[in-house]
Structure 1
Amino acid sequence: MKECILVSAFGTSNIEGYEKQFKPFLEKIKEEFSIDSFVGFTSNRIIDKLKDDRVKSLEDKIEEIKALEYEKLILVKLVLSDGKENRKIDELINKNKINFKEIIVTNPILSYKKDFIENCLTSDKCTILISHGREDGLIDKISDDFKFEIEKNYDNLKYLSLNRKEESKNVIENLLSIGINNVKFKPLLLTKGYHFSKDIYSEKDESFKKIFVNNNITVEEVNFGLLEDGKFIEFIINKISKLI
Structure 2
Amino acid sequence: MSGDNPFASSGEDYNAPNNRGDGTVQARSSMDYLEAFGKVFENSNWFINALVVGLVNYIPIIGAIVVIGFSVTIVHEKSIGRTNSYPDFDLNKFGEYLIRGFWMFLTGLLFGLCLAPLAVILAIVPMGLQASGSDTLAVFGTLFLFVVLLIASMLANLAALPLILRAGLTCSFSEAFDFAWVKDFVSKMWLDQILGMIILSIISWFVLLVGFVALCVGIIPAIGVVTIAYWNYITQLYQVYIGRGGQPISYRDSGSL
Which bin holds the TM-score, normalised by the shorter protein? under 0.3
State TM-score, norm by structure 2: 0.25
Greater per-residue strand proportion? 1
Highest relative contact order (Cα 8 Å, sep 6+), 1 or 2? Answer: 2
Q: Which has the higher helix share?
A: 2
